[in-house]
Structure 1
Amino acid sequence: MSAAAKRIRKAVFPVAGLGTRFLPATKAMPKEMLTVVDRPAIQHVVDEARAAGIEHFVFVTGRNKGSIEDHFDKQPELERTLEERGKTKELEELAASLPEAGCTSFTRQQAPLGLGHAVWCARDIVGDEPFALLLPDMLHHGGPQPCLKEMIDAFNEHGGNHISVSPVPEDETHLYGIVGVTDPEAKVSEITSMVEKPKAGTAPSNLHITGRYILQPEIFGVLENQERGAGGEIQLTDAMLAMQKDGKPYYAVRFDGKIYDCGTKIGFLLANAVYGLERKDLGPALREELRKLL
């Protein structure tokens, strides 16, 4: 079976970043463990992957990230205490949040050499099959289906490589990675160009890359031999462009929900508000308190 015909079983989560924009909160706590309501941000992203049918979760970590591994493991002392206290609901929630035994892998990115390098660090675990890549800062919310589920459906139809995109105002395109496509209005459209933070007025479209990818394993060979790019880092976009120039197809999958960048303080605060407001147990009271504040 060719790599293109294989189904998407594995997802890579690059969680080695230092989280400097959230200091001092992230001095001793990984930024991915900051909570959106009552679940760490990384849990929301893993939940999206699980809902899309992902079976194996690959975390590319760094120093001081042990709490992420602990979060996705059983804690017998805590579970025993909850059981003794009759906290059945809490026990069920903990169990529901855990991947099955043997379905998580952790590997180290030993130097901060960029997203492309983080992806390359997962090469031996992913192996010779296409895989999903989910950036843990970007929460995709409110679409008709989970973002990654839509992408896997598109992959099953088209094969190749897929990137999630979403429209932004024309005057903000210089802030993002932007793709050009054959049909900007289509749900799935072949990508014709990729530009990282184009100069104002030069963007090929208003569709920005949202932090969800499905990539063929050939990307690992490209990354292994790739020279460092912007910021002295190994850039994923450079590797994707090299593959595209070599005739490998890339498709944009348009996400029609909202995206909250929890790597920024405003995005993180907005995510907490939105996810809190939709909760039946919290929403009414939170809405009333916000109304008083505003």
Structure 2
Amino acid sequence: MAWLPITQTMPLYVALEEGLFEEAGLEVELTKFENPNQIVDSLTAGQVEVGAPGTAAGITMLAEAKFPGTFKFFGLQGGATEPQRINDALVTVEDSPIRSFSDLKGKSVGTLPGIQWETITKHLVREAGLDPERDVEVVPLGVSLHIPSVVNGDVDATLSLEPVGSVADDEPGTRRAQVNPAEQYIADPFYSGASVLTTDFIEERPEVARTVVSVLDRATKMINEDFEGHKAVLAEYAALDERQVKVVAQPQLRGFEDLDETDLRSYQALVDVFREEGVLGKDLDVNDYVLTSEDLEQKQ
């Protein structure tokens, strides 16, 4: 199972810490990445079978377009405005004049490496009335480099995923300049993360696939019911200290049993951004790629 050290991946962390996989009779081999592209690449190459919650939702659909029939998604992760669930933020130094994407003309903005966040960042720049090719420099930065790069002046701002925004807001000298810009400009709720299975895995090991879905759903429910009681896991898996863990914002987490039409429309809005930005070469309907009970039952 491949994973990224972000808040969206909490269901995996909780499942590991609570022994849910062992309880279900599963032994899980984990592969950690700092670059969202690498997770999807490892899935398409058959190196891993599961993309943990927080797998790049947009890149998943780009890979599906290139290699049809490769993926099914069974959960979504991101943010929302009501109730407030923070996913992304524009991070700057505390005394920066930058308040939103519209203030980025002539500036540089860091974002996660890979096509997903480069595309999202350019789209948000465009929605703010600027030209992402001429007005703003987009700089790829690994998760751990976001705050240091802002503090050191390597970039003027970053578009960052949680927990970076919460940590920046708590640290002296940095702040969230804009909370949930993707929710404002793309969709609300907004999902940049997904839980993903390869179709080969579903076909070859259906019982294990069902169990993985069940375990991660159980962990998702536990977090949604008591986020404060479970967020201590971020200290180990997202490399936060005790003080930072206390300020981390709750994400929007949707498991297999939770997914509804609103969630699917929101995911579709992200996929449509990739089409609009010229990154995706054809229309894709996310409804064709959501895991169903029938997908699992018919393999029994």
- TM bucket (normalised to shorter chain) is under 0.3
Q: TM-score with structure 1 length normalisation?
A: 0.27
Higher helix content, 1 or 2: 2
Q: TM-score with structure 2 length normalisation?
A: 0.26
